[in-house]
Amino acid sequence: MPWKSTQASDFRNLKQMKTMNQLARRSMRPSAVLWDGLNCSNTDMSIPPRITSLNLSSSGLTGNIAAAVQNLTHLEKLDLSNNNLTGGVPEFLGNMKFLMFINLSGNNFNGSIPQALQKKGLELLVEGNPMLCLSNACSKRSNVLVPIVASTASAAVVIAVLVLFLVLRKKKSTTVEGTSTVNDTFANKKSRRFTYSEVMKMTNNFQRVIGKGGSGMVYQGTVNGSEVAVKLLSQSSTQGYEQFKAEVDLLLRVHHTNLVSLVGYCYEGDHLALICEFLPNGDLKQHLSGKGGRSIINWSIRLRIALETALGLEYLHIGCTPPMVHRDVKTANILLDENFKAKLADFGISRSFGGRESQEFTEVAGTHGYIDPEYYRTNRLAEKSDVYSYGVVLLEMITNKPVISEEYHVAEWVGTKLNQCDITEIMDPNLCGVYDYNSAWRALELAVSCTDTSSSKRPTMSQVINELKECIACENARMSNNQGLESQEMNISLDTSVVPGPK
């Protein structure tokens, strides 16, 4: 589908900003996909998209904030951090009705923050502006400016010394086994620590590869007669270390039957490995596509897998302390044991959050197609971001369509089909119509509600679980009725076979 041009008025305002603030980094030419630093709305293809997010962080901007910003009337997120902007914070920013997030940190603004920018619901970041008053007491500032500057300078020296100390300590710790921050994280934990030679032995020198992730290879191994999966961190991985540390820390403190359990870990020099339980039926994605010789699973098993995955997510959201957001829920991260019991895996980018209804700003992470569009647009992470990803998984299980194709996202495809055809044209044809229609409809409606573009309209995982139980009850009733009919047919057949023939 071709990309539409941005609204002409928005483009003119950007050009004015570029001229006034001497934009040094970003080009205003559209790339093959998106403009750098811009997000645009695209809900109605009959009209040009409007700019909803503008990120000009670290772009060499100078002078006052251009008045042209206020003409971007659909702007929801504005990031002007780490530039050389000066002058006062303009009051017009508080009058932009859609603007919910402003980052002005790391500039040289002065004066006070306008009252209009202190309204409820607006996130405003202004740290790193030494001449900016954070309250109405600016008249007192001249009396305390020198002590503040002196204190700031002293604090900066202390921080610099601490940073230097920590850097030197970290460099030293990489050469001395057992003194790393990773090992401090693992201190007093029950899970066993393995040496690298033990990892080599349990995998038979890394003989059998069973998977490949963004941070390294996964090998099959054996520990005390039990099969394990060994996730070995690639030494060329730049962000793998932090993800490894986060995943081990989480797996050591969370325990749920629908989350992959940790057997142990290895941290020895440059060698890092996770040793987890081995799940012989691979991942859900393989069983939807039939790739790798995997069997296509029926509707009843799909519903059970959906329920078990939801139970694992519910535990992360409300059952552990602090609550967690997985951030990478997808069919490839739902693993299946020998009985097709589902276990959620890969917690490398999981993040803690404040609990239900709370939100935190963080860099967007996840897998393309599964990422919550609201999270992508605002950087606000909450449990409903996982709900969106889960909804995409549920749509995959229902339709067996790719999440992203050249023509559509699976949620868009389902949306167009809902008003045009019967559910049989939406359901995976591999199911051959063997499912309860009421169960299928309820599951589809649930998936659609989970993938609503507004997070406030999505259900919680607890609500998802309750609805899935109803779907399963409908399907179980169908199966029981069919078994009863088959039993009756068998009895009729047996009765007929013993009736004497005519003589």
- CA-based nearest residue to 317, from 459, 467, 466, 461: 461
120 has pLDDT over 60? no
CA distance 413 to 440: 17
Residues 79, 21: one domain?
Answer: yes
Over residues 270-313, the pLDDT tens digits come to 888 999 999 999 999 999 987 767 888 999 999 999 999 999 99
Residues 426, 344: one domain?
Answer: yes
Q: Which residues are annotated as a binding site?
A: 231
Helix axis angle, 461-497 to 299-314, nearest 10°: 150
Residues 310, 193: one domain?
Answer: no
215 has pLDDT over 80? no
Residues 225, 248: one domain?
Answer: yes
% residues pLDDT > 90 (the chain): 39
Specify the CATH number for the domain of residue 41.
Answer: 3.80.10.10
Residue 167 maps to a domain:
no
Residues 228, 349: one domain?
Answer: no
Cα-flanking dihedrals φ and ψ of residue 186, to 5°? -90, 0
pTM of the model: 0.60
Residue 189 maps to a domain:
yes
CA distance 211 to 224: 22
Residue 150 maps to a domain:
no
- Domain range holding 37? 8-136
Q: Each residue of 128-147: b (16+ CB within 10 Å) or e?
A: ebeebbeeeeeeeeeeeeee
Residues 87, 14: one domain?
Answer: yes
393 has pLDDT over 70? yes
Over residues 166-198, the pLDDT tens digits come to 544 544 443 333 334 444 444 444 458 899 999
CA distance 448 to 414: 8
pLDDT the model gives residue 183: 46
pLDDT the model gives residue 399: 97
224 has pLDDT over 80? yes
3 has pLDDT over 60? no
Residues 291, 429: one domain?
Answer: yes
Q: How many domains does the chain have?
A: 3
CA distance 49 to 3: 10
Residues 350, 218: one domain?
Answer: no
Last residue of a domain, one of 277, 305, 327: 277
Residues 6+ apart with CB under 8 A from 198: 266
% residues pLDDT > 70 (the chain): 71
Specify the CATH number for the domain of residue 467.
Answer: 1.10.510.10
Range of lowest pLDDT (7-16, 89-98, 173-182, 229-238): 173-182
Could you list the active site residues? 328
Residue 236 maps to a domain:
yes
Q: Which residue has the higher pLDDT, 376 or 48?
A: 376
Specify the CATH number for the domain of residue 222.
Answer: 3.30.200.20
DSSP 228-246: EEEEEEPTT-SSHHHHHHH
Mean pLDDT, range 437-446, rounded to an integer: 96
